[in-house]
A and B are shown apart, each in its own frame.
Chain A
Amino acid sequence: MDEHEPRIIAFLCNWCSYAGGDLAGVNREQYPPNILSIRLMCSSRVSPEHVLESFQEGADGVLVAGCHPGDCHYINGNYKTKRKIEMMSKILKDMGINPERLRLEWISSAEGGKFAKVMKEMVEEVKQLGPLDLSDVPLEE
C-alpha cells in the first residue's frame, strides 16, 4: 500500500515567511511537495475559521508562519496570531483533533533553510499522525 501523503496548508505572511519560502527556492533547498501555500499580508489575517475550514476540506495539517516577535510589518500582528493559535490548539484538543496538526512558526525572509526544515518536519509529523477524516459520521447506527 502506498504511504499516506499528507496535505498541508501553509498560511504564510507576505513580509517574512513567504519571502523565506522564496529564498528557500533560490537557494535550491529541498523540501517535500505536500505543502500548499497561501500568501497573506500578515499571519494575523488567519482566522480560526480558515484553519477549521482547511481541516474540513481535507487538509491533514495547517501551518501558520509569520515574522519573528518584534519584526511584524504591522507592528504587533504576530502577537495576535500567537494568542489565536494557542487558543485554537486548546479547542482542537477538546474536539479530539491532535493539536500537533496545527503549527505556528516564525520564519524570517532570511531563513530559507529554516523554511525548508520546518516543512520537512511538519510533513514527517503529520505523516506519522495519519490522514484526518472529518466527514460526518451517520447519526443512526
Chain B
Amino acid sequence: MMKKKIAFYWCAACGGCEVSVLDIDEMILDVIEKADIVFWPCAMDPKYEDLEAMEDEEIDIAFINGSIRSEENKEMVELIREKAKKVVAYGSCSSIGGLFGLGNLSSKEELIEVGYSTRSTDDGVRPQNESKVEEGELELPSLLHHVVPLDRVIEVDHYLPGCPPLPVQLEEAFTALLGDEDVGKYDLISQKSVCDVCAMDREEKRIEKIRPIQEVSIDPEKCILDQGVLCMGPATAGMCEAPCPSVAAHPCVGCNGPVRGMKDQGSRMLSALASVVGIEGEENMEEDELQEAIDSIRDPTGSFYTFSLPSSYLQYRRGDVDG
C-alpha cells in the first residue's frame, strides 16, 4: 500500500494541538508506518515555497489546528486546501473557533490598543503592516475583522474538536482516516454529552445558586453541577470521556464544543441552567430573590461560549449594530 502523505499546520493556536499529536505515545509509530509527514512547520523546517512547489492534491490529509485570526492564517489554509485531498479541522479552535474566539467580544482595534498599551510595551508603538528597517522592508499580516473557525474560509472534510484532542480521540481518528475507513464529516464528534459519559453520582437537579469554584470544596464523587458549580457537561460533546470531572473533580469547561448536530453550545447550556437554578420554591420567590439566582451565574457569555463563540449564532460583538 502506498504510504499516505499527511501535513500539520497551525494557525492562531496555543501549540497544544501540535504537542497532542505526540500524546499518542507509541502509536505514533503506527502513524509513521502508514503515513509520511510532508509538511509540519512546528517540527520540521519547511518553507512556504516548499508547499507552493507541491502538486495540487499531493497531500492526502492535512490536519489544521488553530483559529483563523490573521490574513496569513487565511492565505496559508487556502494554499493547503489546494494542495490537500482532505482537510481535517484539528482541535476546537479550527473546528468551532476556540478560546481565542473570546477575542470576538472586542473589536480588533480594541485588542491591539489593549495589547500594546501595557506597562511592558513602549507607549504609542503599534504594529504596522509595513515597516522599514536597515535591512529592508518588513511585512506583518493584518488581523481579520474577527476570529473565525476554519470552515468559514475553506471547505473542511472532517471535524475533530477537543482542546486538545485526546489520545483516545486520536486513536480513533488516525486509525479511521489513515486506514481509508468511511468517516462522515461529523463522525468524530460525539452524540453523547459529557454528562452522559461522566462517572459522578447525580441526583435530580435543584440548584439554589451557582457559586464560584473557589468558594466550594468539591466532593469528588458527586456531580459538580449538583454542588452548585458551573459545569458545561450538559451542553458539551463527550468524546473525551469526561476526564476533567471524573478524574480531576474539575468542572467541564466545554472545550469540545456542542454535541453533534447542535450549533449553539451557549444556548444549550443556558436552557439547561434555566431549568435547574433557583427552582426551589420559585412560586413564592420575590422578584429580587429570583434575580439573585439568575445573577449568580456570572458572565454567561464568557462561561457558556468559552470555546465556541465564533461558531455560535452571533459570532462576534455587533457593537456597530446598536450603540
Contact = CB atoms under 8 A, between A and B. Distances in A.
B282 A140 contact: no
Contacts of A52: 264, 267, 312-314
Interface of A: 47-49, 52-53, 55-56, 69-70, 76, 79-84, 86-88, 90-91, 94-98, 101, 129, 132-134, 136-141
A89 B291 CA distance: 13
A97 B318 contact: yes
Contacts of A76: 279, 282-283
Nearest to B107: A96
Nearest to B318: A96
B146 A139 contact: yes
B318 A138 contact: no
A49 B275 contact: no
B294 interface: yes
Contacts of A139: 68, 74, 144-146, 148, 152-153
Mostly, the B contact residues are mixed
A96 B71 contact: no
The prevalent SS among residues of A at the interface is helix
24 contacts: A48-B264, A49-B263, A56-B313, A83-B273, A83-B290, A83-B293, A83-B294, A84-B270, A87-B273, A87-B294, A87-B297, A87-B300, A91-B301, A94-B302, A95-B105, A95-B301, A95-B318, A96-B321, A97-B314, A132-B321, A139-B68, A139-B74, A139-B148, A141-B145
Nearest to A137: B145
B313 A53 contact: yes
Interface in B242-301: 263-264, 266-268, 270-271, 273-275, 277-279, 282-283, 290-291, 293-294, 297, 300-301
B283 A70 contact: yes
Contacts of A88: 270
A33 to B, nearest CB: 24
Given A86-B291, A139-B148, A79 B279 contact: yes
Nearest to A99: B322
B274 A83 contact: yes
B142 interface: yes
B202 interface: no
Contacts of B124: none
Given A79-B279, A98-B322, A132-B321, A87 B270 contact: yes
Given A87-B294, A140-B71, A80 B274 contact: yes
Nearest to B277: A83
Contacts of A138: 145
Contacts of B282: 76, 79
B267 A49 contact: yes
| Residue with the highest number of chain A CB atoms closer than 10 Å, among B293, B301, B321 | B321
B271 A94 contact: no
B320 interface: yes
- A76, A83, A132, A140 interface centre (most CB from chain B within 10 Å): A83
Contacts of A82: 290
Contacts of A90: 300-301
